[in-house]
Structure 1
Amino acid sequence: MNTLKINDVSLVYNNGYQALNAINLEITNGVFGLLGPNGAGKSSLMKTIVGLQKPSEGEIFFNGIDVVKKPLEIQKQLGFLPQYFGVYPKVSAYNLLQHLAKLKGIYNNNERHDQIMNLLGKVNLVEAKNKEVHTFSGGMKQRFGVAQALLGDPKIVIVDEPTAGLDPEERNRFNALLSEIGEDIIILLSTHLVEDVRNLCSEMAIIKQGTIVAKGNPNQFIDALQGKIWQKAINKSELLNIEPNNTVISKQFIEKIMYVTVYADACPTGFIPVTPKLEHAYFTYLNNAK
């Protein structure tokens, strides 16, 4: 079992901007979702975990090793899948994995070949191994990205906004792949998409302005909102009266009609109850309703 412990980590940049504020997390094998809007501190936390920048305060331990003092210890066991995986033109999937495997220190030819073919099988790309990666569909590129992230048998993999741009079928295939991989290692999923967390993660945290505002199991978040989420179809003029007197957590158009959703212990006049979803919990915490 792999364990990542983040103890009271804060990060203040040279210009005085506080990117992280007293972060405390303990993460073990599986897919852990770090959910927050753009600019919330997700990237700052990921860079700090993997030793690309040192925290201003706090400690980070990976499998008992202080990675603030010894960042190479986590970097040697790290895989990374960025949001957009750039590839060289005119290079086949197999040859690109060969190149990346050498960069990761896999120098034995037989070992390198066996690992590449095993990973191409895992991500269902064996038949495409001689095709140039830049010709792949978005879903194929993301699956190739998983293969390169798993070169060298990492113990922790960081995945950044993985399903952006994927169609529903590709997203389902990709999510199934991440779930399978996450049984044996830590996968840190950094995203602003609630759907990715709901589909993949057994544990999650919501980050806002560099602070963890909530953490736990997605189902616990949903259960905590039972009987507290209410919705009403309105026109724009009504919104001016609703917002000052209610805790509004979201506004959205459905078939050209605006629906306002609020958090309250009792049903406000004219509203109807709504079955809570994870996005309701997300917006509730983002809007300081709890």
Structure 2
Amino acid sequence: MNTLKINNVSLVYNNGYQALHAINLDITNGVFGLLGPNGAGKSSLMKTIVGLQKPSEGELFFNGTDIVKTPLEIQKQLGFLPQYFGVYPKVSAYDLLEHLARLKGIHNKKERHDQIITLLDKVNLTDAKNKEVHTFSGGMKQRFGVAQALLGDPKIVIVDEPTAGLDPEERNRFNALLSEIGEDIIILLSTHLVEDVRNLCSQMAIIKQGNIVAEGNPNQFINALHGKLWQKATNKNELPKLEPNFKVISKQFIEKVMHITVYADACPTGFQAVVPNLEHAYFTHLNSAT
């Protein structure tokens, strides 16, 4: 079992901006979702975990090793799948993985070959191994990205906004792949998309303005909202009168009609009960956080 312990980590940049405020997380094997809006501090935390920047305060331990003092210890066991990545033109999937494997220090030719063939099979790209990667569809590129991230048998993989631009079929295939991989390693999923966390993660944390405002199991978040959410159809003239009087969770159009969802212990007049989902939980914690 792999373990990542983040103890009281804060980060202040040279210009005085505090990007992280006393972050505490314990993460083990599986897909862990770090969910938050753009600018919440997700990238700052990821860069701190992998040793690209040192925290101003706090400690990080990976499998018992202090990775603030020795960041190479996590970097040697790290895979990374960015949201977007460029590839060399006119280079096949196999040849590009061969090149990346050399860069990752896999010097034995047979070991490189065996690992590449195994990974191409795992991500269902064996039939495309001789095709140029730049010709791949979005889903194929993301699956290739998983293969390159798994070169060298990493113990922790960081995935940044992985399903952006994928169609539903490709998204489902990709999610199944990540779920399978996450049984044996830590996968840190950094995203602002609630759907990704709902589909993949057994544990999650919500981050806002550099603070962890909630942490736990997605189902626990949802269950805590049962009997607390209420919705009604409204219009732009009525909305300004409602907002000051209620704890508004979300506003959304349903069949061209604006609906407002509020949090309350009892059903307000004119509202109806709503079955909560993870998006409701996300906005509840974001709007509750100061």
Structure 1 length as normaliser, TM-score? 0.99
Give distance in 2, aligned partners of 1:289 and 1:160: 24
Give distance in 2, aligned partners of 1:18 and 1:244: 31
Give yes or no for contact 1:8–1:23 (8 Å, CA) kept in 2: yes
Corresponding residue number in structure 1 for 2:164: 164
- SS of residue matched to 1:287: helix
Give distance in 2, aligned partners of 1:139 and 1:112: 24
Give yes or no for contact 2:213–2:289 (8 Å, CA) kept in 1: no
Percent of paired sites with the same residue: 86
Corresponding residue number in structure 1 for 2:244: 244
- SS of residue matched to 2:47: helix
- SS of residue matched to 1:83: coil
User: How far did 1:85 drift?
Assistant: 2.0
Give distance in 2, aligned partners of 1:62 and 1:289: 29
Corresponding residue number in structure 1 for 2:7: 7
Letter in 2 for 1:183: E
Map 1:49-198 → 2, pairs under 5 A: 49-198=49-198
- SS of residue matched to 2:261: strand
Letter in 1 for 2:55: P
User: How far did 1:249 drift?
Assistant: 1.0
- SS of residue matched to 2:170: helix
* Structure 1 runs, 4 residues or longer, greater than 6 Å off: none
Give distance in 1, aligned partners of 2:86 and 2:263: 42
- SS of residue matched to 1:214: strand
Gaps of 5+ in 2: none
- SS of residue matched to 2:237: helix
- SS of residue matched to 1:197: helix
Structure 2 length as normaliser, TM-score? 0.99
Letter in 2 for 1:25: L
Give yes or no for contact 1:247–1:289 (8 Å, CA) kept in 2: no
- Correspondence 1:26 to 2:26: yes
Letter in 2 for 1:37: P
Give yes or no for contact 2:98–2:112 (8 Å, CA) kept in 1: yes
Superposed CA RMSD in Å reads: 0.8
Map 1:207-286 → 2, pairs under 5 A: 207-286=207-286
Give distance in 2, aligned partners of 1:190 and 1:46: 8
Residues 86-132 of structure 1 deviation map (CA, whole Å, 9 limit, x = unaligned): 11111000000000000000011000000000000000000000000
Distance 1:236 1:253, change over 3 A: same
Between 261-270 and 169-178, report the one with greater CA deviation. 261-270
Give distance in 1, aligned partners of 2:137 and 2:84: 12
User: How far did 1:289 drift?
Assistant: 7.0
User: How far did 1:81 drift?
Assistant: 0.1
Distance 1:8 1:289, change over 3 A: closer
Corresponding residue number in structure 1 for 2:203: 203
Residues 175-196 of structure 1 deviation map (CA, whole Å, 9 limit, x = unaligned): 0000000000000000000000
Give distance in 2, aligned partners of 1:79 and 1:269: 52
Give distance in 2, aligned partners of 1:116 and 1:85: 19
Give distance in 2, aligned partners of 1:175 and 1:86: 22
User: How far did 1:269 drift?
Assistant: 1.1
Give distance in 1, aligned partners of 2:11 and 2:267: 41
Letter in 1 for 2:105: G
- SS of residue matched to 2:241: helix
Give distance in 2, aligned partners of 1:289 and 1:139: 36
Give distance in 1, aligned partners of 2:133 and 2:187: 24
User: How far did 1:254 drift?
Assistant: 1.3
> How many residues are paired up?
290
Letter in 2 for 1:109: K
Give distance in 2, aligned partners of 1:178 and 1:168: 15
Give distance in 2, aligned partners of 1:226 and 1:238: 26
Distance 1:68 1:289, change over 3 A: closer
Residues 43-79 of structure 1 deviation map (CA, whole Å, 9 limit, x = unaligned): 0000000000000000000000000000000000000
User: How far did 1:236 drift?
Assistant: 0.7
